[in-house]
Amino acid sequence: MEYVQERIATLHDFRTQPTQRPQRTRRGQRAETARESGETAPAGEREYEREHDRQPEFPTDDHLRETAIVVPMAGREHDSPAAARVLAELERLDPAPAAVFVPVRADPDRIEPFREWLASFSLPIRVLWCNAPAVEAVLADAGLPNGEGTGKGRDVWLALGPAAEAAEFIVVHDADARSYEATHVRRLIAPLAMNQEFEFTKGYYARIEQNRLYGRLFRLFYRPLLRAVGDEHDADVLSYLDSFRYALAGEFAMTADLARRLRAPQAWGLEVGILGDAFEHAGFEGSAQVDLGRHVHDHRAVAGDTGLEGMSREVAATLCRVLEEGGVELNYETLPERYLAAGRRLIDQYRADAAFNELAYDPAAERDQLERYADSIGPPGLDRRLPEWTNAPVEPASVLAASQPWLDDATRLETSADD
């Protein structure tokens, strides 16, 4: 158990979560055996059982009514076990959230089955078809990114505008966590509800699956790149970005006011770009991170444009832009080599950590990833971020209407959250 605080507030979970109970099998088995035999467990053990079997509670129930949840989905998430678990867990929230916005990127022949599946959950779901022809037309008319080259970042941005109109707090999370629990929503909004002027919360968690370390893009790209930059620079933005234990986590929450001020990257740089805006608007004092336990995610391949290699290029461009805007002058000629050196040092540490926990570890494969990611490091290029909703050339209501072509004007005016 550790009590370390970063420069941002770090909210640990010292209570055992339901998904973590198997880790205390021996002690739990002794208590079960004692009960079955009629014996009385020792006082300390009884207290342990009572304390660690208790469902975690947070002072956020009243705030759920003021919370909108954004769950971006791509076509592959339709009826997937991970996405189904996320939605089923959200059904358990009591009281129900103000709205659940699901920005969907799907082919025209798949959007209706997708909507029908989403409607099978007892949730106040609002579906946004993000690549609908009407959406593309509205964005093109406003001079905003549309068509090819857009992705998750733009989809989340499309939902943030309407979500900020619907609720005071906004929670965003991915739909690929097979270990997702409804309590994650409560954990993420807890700092915002603590009356301590937090505006932004980031989730962090362990990525240990199949007896090995995951979280590869964070471990092998984001972290060593920041260390390489930190060897030559000392800036507040570096300290801020390095304070997050899992900076690339797709689980975060914010006030509606902050959501309106985000300039979202169009695709996979979303999480890093949001950290840059959170640094600018919330800063150290207004930011927190909260323990979400251990996550099991669907995985991507390393190689190719759709794998981690392709994602690293967008993460690199966004991260370098955030650093430059924070006053850090980057030497792109030497940075790739310094990144590789920092990554090799971290691999030695990961290998020791894996050995200590009896996990499988392949240093050669990890070094191969370093080499692939090093080619991604370079100047960020043209800034194609989406504008703040406070200064956007479109209105949230227009985007919402364009993304729901199945509703006629009369129905749209009368619809409830269950559309």
Label residue 409 by pLDDT band (50, 70, 90).
low
Stated pTM of the model: 0.87
Closest CA to 379 of 319, 337, 419: 319
Closest CA to 182 of 125, 275, 114, 251: 251
For 278-355, list the strands marked E by DSSP: 287-294
Contact by Cβ (8 Å): 154, 399: no
DSSP code for 21: G
pLDDT at 92: 95
Length of the chain in residues, anyone?
419
Q: Left if phi > 0, otherwise alpha if psi is -120 to 50, otherwise beta: which for 143?
A: left
pLDDT at 419: 47
Q: What is the pLDDT of residues 340-399, one digit of tens each?
A: 999 999 999 999 999 999 999 999 999 999 999 999 999 999 998 999 999 999 999 999
Buried b (16+ CB within 10 A) or exposed e, 386-398: bbbbeebebebeb
Q: Is the peptide bond before 95 cis (omega within 30 degrees of 0)?
A: yes
Q: Left if phi > 0, otherwise alpha if psi is -120 to 50, otherwise beta: which for 92?
A: alpha
Distances (CA, A) of 324 to 156, 231, 235, 258, 370: 24, 16, 11, 22, 23
Q: What is the pLDDT of residues 7-23, one digit of tens each?
A: 999 999 887 544 433 33
Q: What is the pLDDT of residues 260-292, one digit of tens each?
A: 999 999 888 999 999 999 999 999 999 999 999
Q: What is the pLDDT of residues 133-190, one digit of tens each?
A: 999 999 999 999 887 878 899 999 999 999 999 999 999 999 988 889 999 999 999 9
Q: What is the pLDDT of residues 57-85, one digit of tens each?
A: 555 578 999 999 999 999 889 989 999 99
Contact by Cβ (8 Å): 106, 358: no
Mean pLDDT confidence for 35-46: 40
Cα(289)–Cα(8) distance, rounded to whole angstroms? 7
Q: What percent of the chain has pLDDT over 90?
A: 71
